[in-house]
Chain A
Amino acid sequence: MDLSTLTIAEARDALRKGELTSVDLTDAYLTAAEASDALNAYTTKTPEQARDMAAAADARIKAGDAPAMCGIPIGVKDLYAVEGVATQAASNILAGFKPQYESTVTGNLWSSGAVMLGKLNMDEFAMGSSNITSAYGPAISPWRRAGDETPITPGGSSGGSAAAVAADLCLGATASDTGGSIRQPAAFTGTVGIKPTYGRCSRWGMVAFASSLDQAGPVTKTVRDAAIMLGAMAGYDPKDSTSANLPVPDFEAALTGDIRGKTIGIPREYRVEGMSETLDTLWREGAEMLRDAGATIVDISLPHTKYALPTYYIIAPAEASSNLSRYDGVKYGHRATLAQGDGITDMYEKTRAEGFGEEVQRRVMLGAYVLSAGFYDAYYVRAQKVRTLIKRDFELAFGDGVDAILAPATPSAAWGLGEMQTDDPVQMYLEDVFTVPLNLAGLPGVSVPAGLNRQGLPLGLQLIGRPWEEGDLLNIAGALETAVGFTAKPERWW
């Protein structure tokens, strides 16, 4: 059995049938992870923990108590607090921080029997679209352009998660999505990434970037795996006031493959200037595939789409500037070495200047600015009003009978490291144009591999669903996945 190509669903079935032990499966992935340093996907590996958890999982399976993720080795984005394991959100300011607590989402996964291989790289505090803001250095995509050795970004912020899943360094990975941080890396790496409805997963123990936008979700190899893993992560948590007190349906059971009678909306505002021809073609083909599977395709309008990016880049930094105030050198993490006579203000300034990277500093400043006296109404309050309009665009579309919306996940394929003008952060922000509207509206969205571009890099299509109907959304995504039949894998070079 080639353990590296297994999906979560296949591994689960094999484990349950006794054809495989979690200890063996875990060892295979630990070996793969060990040999993957060129990808810089793992920031911390936890082999001892992994073996203990695998043995415990095998015992559970033997005892006939095998929940969905039992025995499945996964990676965890460095954003999630894992008890006793370095948790830094890829930031120097959390240097040496090992939480005494377990995030709700990872706790749910461990209860479900999942096995932790280690922590995964990401953009610092999840701020970025190419993983280059990580204090650990960027994660590298296992994908390369045909005949070109330029390192390619796996995207961000969940770049480590996407790279690890694409390179078969784990069966699935936790990720998080504030403005596209699950869907964009998934699209860049030929993997599946779902951001569920805001409130579906608890944010407790997940290092906060922008509280009203942050949402946990998995990156996996297939839609079915996404359904399984999301089901294990999700659930009401009284410790998170914004988590929804709703039962978690069986997402996997929703994967019937039957999408006859579904209405799929194609938003005209997502056809943007400079979009690659291949992507445009894949988008059109994707729509045709869904039609062939029995869905009705309709053109829809989401008129406030163009305001989504500026709205996002006011609200997200505003919340971040406040959320990151706790990193002050007083309680945990990095504290600057002070000079004789330095006072508390010096300690704050030096600690934060040393601890935060450039992009984080930029967003903290942006956020402080838009919230400051005299600007609050013009920026923050206005952005909240526009946010309501963006949300209403979707509500109207769904109200007209649309079941899901099909759009590209990103305007282009992944770029080579250093190719994106890093001195122009706005250029980078524009990469989020298709993903941020969902975060603003709190809607679920899933990125599914759609094909390769001419250079051999993956492209993804995004399906946007009704709130709390991730099951239906995943079913449509599954139909698309089946129709596309994406089987490409990166050639191993690391």
Chain B
Amino acid sequence: MTELTYTAPKPKVIPGATGDWEIVIGMEVHAQVKSEAKLFSGASTKFGAEPNSNVSLVDAAMPGMLPVINEYCVEQAVRTGLGLKAEINLYSRFDRKNYFYPDLPQGYQISQLYHPIVGEGEVLVDMEPGVARRVRIERIHLEQDAGKSVHDMDPTMSFVDLNRTGVALMEIVSRPDIRGPEEAAEYVRKLRQILRYLGTCDGNMQEGSMRADVNVSVCRPGDYERYQESQDFSHLGTRCEIKNMNSMRFIQAAIEYEARRQIAILEDGGSIDQETRLYDAAKNETRSMRSKEEAHDYRYFPDPDLLPLEIDQAWVDEIGAGLPELPDEKRARFVLDFGMTEYDASVLTAEVASADFFEKVAAGRDGKMAANWVINELFGRLNKEDIALSDSPVSAEQLGGIIDLIGQKVISGKIAKDLFEIVWTEGGDPAKIVEERGMKQVTDTGAIEAAVDEIIAGNPAQVEKAKGNPKLAGWFVGQVMKATGGKANPQAVQDIVRSKLGLE
């Protein structure tokens, strides 16, 4: 495997009245496992179904109902762990987290507190070409999602939708290695990208498939390094946890606000209360939800309805062998194999589908040219018209055909853009279109010479000027191109014009 080298980004510094401050961030990302059925029941996980239609007896916590682990969800968690280069725990166990809430029918959430399925791993968070943060993953555990309480449909009643109850989540817990609001947003973006590559989470943040709890504290420059040496968290300051964030933009804004709020308190001589806070996007502020004293006592204990989860190394290896090429590797390969910039490689590898599309276009063709056409012409156009790549009117084969015609000097770059436009709006085989519509580039020097002669004969004054100022040759080239409808080979025109004007 090829790897690119990176330097770590500088931590975000916020200047205060009493000196500089730094931010320390750790995240718990809840990623919904991509699976047909729930973690402990056979009910469907389909989003957007009629309320309470995807609910089994187990999900509704009917008396005497028992959970049975969905093996596929375990496989997905293992796959995720391997994708984050993490240690897989062959022995893990489920615990009950006890609390009362109407959308939690059992009165407890089945989670993994004491023995999670995945241990330490890491995520490389890209900030700019050559600059990336290595964020350590502490653990990933499997747990059940809760249902949804609806409080605004009736003035006196609340409603509960259990469709989401029991859906499998992976809670991905990072170390406090994230050092700024942008890094936090990029961390989520990268995590989302990796999970989507792995096919273990659809990453649909609007539908709640990924939500993040963000732990924020502030400290002085040097404190973080002291923490790294001593592993003593007290150097990092008291943290507040901002719950349930489902947009990268809001994550960034909330951290920004929260850090400044904490700095203001500290600079005022106050101290930070460890608490859980909620972000109000409309007001762009965080508000206290509950203090440490009000924190629930969840009375965790091993779920006696479930046996410990024991898996084989051979099974883990098998899952590992089937892992797809991941974003970091793919990007490195694109840079090294196709000679493109890291920036272009990042754009192309953002999604598996875009990378696959590019590779189809680039197969047997000039990589740089393919990258250029995919990114600038196709992606640019798709973006502008807000069309998904999967709905692109121009296929990889068609785009490859256009590039072939350029490479074979059948058409010029300019004509190629016209051709792209035709393929975009009308479809069709590029080679056929060129043939049928007479778009072929004229390389017949006789025809070009005739055209050049005509222009020279018609513009004696310009000819005189050009003899004194060779730069004016370009004007003649332009005129010839115009006269030939852009189909003349520009290099050939250039050569003939210069020779006829005696500029060589």
Residues on A close to B: CB < 8 A?
80-81, 87, 89, 94, 97, 99-101, 103, 203-208, 210-212, 238-242, 318-319, 321-322, 324-326, 328, 330-332, 344, 348, 368, 371-373, 376, 380
Among the stretches B98-106, B133-141, B374-382, B425-433, the one at the interface with A is B98-106
Q: Does chain A have a CB within 8 A of B458?
A: no
Residues of A within 8 A of B305 (CB): 208, 211, 241-242
What 8 A-B pairs are tightest by C-beta distance, nearest first?
A325-B107, A211-B304, A371-B299, A212-B304, A326-B61, A205-B64, A207-B63, A373-B297
| Closest CB in chain B relative to A425 CB, distance in Å | 22
Query: Would B304 and A204 count as touching, CB distance under 8 A?
Result: no
Complexed CA–CA distance, A103 and B60 (Å):
16
Contact with A along B291-302 (1 / 0, CB 8 A): 000000101110
Query: Would A204 and B63 count as touching, CB distance under 8 A?
Result: no
Residues of B within 8 A of A328 (CB): 100, 102, 107
Q: Does chain A have a CB within 8 A of B150?
A: no
The answer to whether residues A241 and B102 also contact, given A94-B63, A207-B64, A371-B301 and a CB cut-off of 8 A, is no
Residues of B within 8 A of A101 (CB): 57, 62
Query: Would A322 and B62 count as touching, CB distance under 8 A?
Result: no
Residues of B within 8 A of A206 (CB): 64
Which of A87, A348, A372 is in CB contact (< 8 Å) with B299? A372
Q: List 7 A-B contacts (CB under 8 A).
A: A101-B62, A204-B66, A211-B304, A241-B66, A368-B299, A371-B300, A376-B300
The answer to whether residues A325 and B106 also contact, given A242-B305, A331-B60, A331-B61 and a CB cut-off of 8 A, is yes
Interface centre among A89, A101, A103, A238 (most CB of B within 10 A): A101
A interface: dominant SS: loop
Residues of A within 8 A of B303 (CB): 211
Chain A residue, CB-CB nearest to B156: A340
Q: Does chain A have a CB within 8 A of B68?
A: yes
Residues of B within 8 A of A326 (CB): 61, 63, 105-107
Query: Would B301 and A344 count as touching, CB distance under 8 A?
Result: no
Residues of B within 8 A of A208 (CB): 63-64, 305
Complexed CA–CA distance, A422 and B211 (Å):
51
| Closest CB in chain B relative to A15 CB, distance in Å | 31
Chain A residue, CB-CB nearest to B305: A211
| Closest CB in chain A relative to B387 CB, distance in Å | 45
Query: Would B68 and A348 count as touching, CB distance under 8 A?
Result: no
Complexed CA–CA distance, A34 and B53 (Å):
42
Complexed CA–CA distance, A470 and B160 (Å):
46
| Closest CB in chain A relative to B222 CB, distance in Å | 34
The answer to whether residues A239 and B68 also contact, given A211-B304, A325-B108, A373-B297 and a CB cut-off of 8 A, is yes
Residues of A within 8 A of B300 (CB): 371, 376
| Closest CB in chain B relative to A44 CB, distance in Å | 15
Which of B57, B297, B301, B307 is in CB contact (< 8 Å) with A318? B301
Q: Known pairs A101-B57, A242-B304, A326-B105. 8 more at Cβ < 8 A?
A: A87-B63, A89-B63, A99-B63, A208-B64, A241-B66, A322-B299, A326-B107, A328-B100
Chain A residue, CB-CB nearest to B106: A326
Query: Would A371 and B66 count as touching, CB distance under 8 A?
Result: no
Which of A240, A241, A322, A372 is in CB contact (< 8 Å) with B96? A322
| Closest CB in chain B relative to A313 CB, distance in Å | 16
Complexed CA–CA distance, A210 and B305 (Å):
9
Complexed CA–CA distance, A381 and B305 (Å):
17
Contact with A along B34-72 (1 / 0, CB 8 A): 000000000000000000000001001111111111000
Residues of A within 8 A of B60 (CB): 331
Q: How large, as a class, is the contact surface on chain B?
A: 20 to 34
- Which B86-104 residues have C-beta < 8 A from chain A? 96, 98, 100-102
Complexed CA–CA distance, A210 and B303 (Å):
11
The answer to whether residues A239 and B107 also contact, given A322-B98, A330-B160 and a CB cut-off of 8 A, is no
Complexed CA–CA distance, A241 and B310 (Å):
13
Residues of B within 8 A of A100 (CB): 57, 62
Which of B64, B96, B102 is in CB contact (< 8 Å) with A330? B102
Chain B residue, CB-CB nearest to A87: B63
| Closest CB in chain B relative to A452 CB, distance in Å | 37
| Closest CB in chain A relative to B74 CB, distance in Å | 13
Complexed CA–CA distance, A321 and B107 (Å):
10
| Closest CB in chain A relative to B294 CB, distance in Å | 13
Which of B62, B66, B96, B158 is in CB contact (< 8 Å) with A239? B66
Q: Does chain A have a CB within 8 A of B306?
A: yes
| Closest CB in chain A relative to B110 CB, distance in Å | 11
Residues of B within 8 A of A81 (CB): 62-64
| Closest CB in chain B relative to A243 CB, distance in Å | 9
Which of B61, B66, B69 is in CB contact (< 8 Å) with A240? B66
Query: Would A204 and B64 count as touching, CB distance under 8 A?
Result: yes
Complexed CA–CA distance, A401 and B158 (Å):
62
| Closest CB in chain B relative to A259 CB, distance in Å | 34
Complexed CA–CA distance, A87 and B62 (Å):
11
Chain A residue, CB-CB nearest to B97: A322
Which of B61, B64, B108, B307 is in CB contact (< 8 Å) with A242? B307
Query: Would B63 and A97 count as touching, CB distance under 8 A?
Result: yes
Residues of A within 8 A of B69 (CB): 241
Chain B residue, CB-CB nearest to A214: B304
Complexed CA–CA distance, A94 and B63 (Å):
9
Complexed CA–CA distance, A328 and B105 (Å):
8
| Closest CB in chain B relative to A213 CB, distance in Å | 8
Complexed CA–CA distance, A208 and B96 (Å):
15
| Closest CB in chain B relative to A19 CB, distance in Å | 38
Complexed CA–CA distance, A99 and B60 (Å):
12
The answer to whether residues A203 and B64 also contact, given A241-B307, A325-B108 and a CB cut-off of 8 A, is yes
Chain B residue, CB-CB nearest to A369: B299
Query: Would A332 and B62 count as touching, CB distance under 8 A?
Result: yes
Query: Would B66 and A344 count as touching, CB distance under 8 A?
Result: no
Chain A residue, CB-CB nearest to B64: A205
Chain B residue, CB-CB nearest to A381: B301
Query: Would B102 and A344 count as touching, CB distance under 8 A?
Result: yes
Chain B residue, CB-CB nearest to A202: B66
| Closest CB in chain A relative to B133 CB, distance in Å | 34
Residues of A within 8 A of B306 (CB): 241-242
Interface centre among A81, A87, A89, A100 (most CB of B within 10 A): A81
The answer to whether residues A348 and B64 also contact, given A241-B69, A371-B299, A372-B297 and a CB cut-off of 8 A, is no
| Closest CB in chain A relative to B146 CB, distance in Å | 13
Residues of B within 8 A of A210 (CB): 304
Which of A87, A204, A322, A330 is in CB contact (< 8 Å) with B301? A322
The answer to whether residues A322 and B63 also contact, given A238-B68, A373-B297, A376-B301 and a CB cut-off of 8 A, is no
Complexed CA–CA distance, A368 and B300 (Å):
10
| Closest CB in chain A relative to B223 CB, distance in Å | 29
| Closest CB in chain B relative to A188 CB, distance in Å | 26
| Closest CB in chain A relative to B290 CB, distance in Å | 14
Complexed CA–CA distance, A376 and B61 (Å):
25
Interface centre among A205, A326, A344 (most CB of B within 10 A): A326
| Closest CB in chain B relative to A349 CB, distance in Å | 10
Residues of B within 8 A of A242 (CB): 304-307
| Closest CB in chain A relative to B64 CB, distance in Å | 4
Complexed CA–CA distance, A161 and B63 (Å):
20
| Closest CB in chain B relative to A238 CB, distance in Å | 7
Query: Would A204 and B105 count as touching, CB distance under 8 A?
Result: no
Query: Would A322 and B102 count as touching, CB distance under 8 A?
Result: no
Chain B residue, CB-CB nearest to A318: B301
Residues of A within 8 A of B297 (CB): 372-373
| Closest CB in chain A relative to B164 CB, distance in Å | 16
Interface centre among A328, A330, A344 (most CB of B within 10 A): A330
Query: Would A103 and B299 count as touching, CB distance under 8 A?
Result: no
| Closest CB in chain B relative to A406 CB, distance in Å | 30
Query: Would B108 and A322 count as touching, CB distance under 8 A?
Result: yes
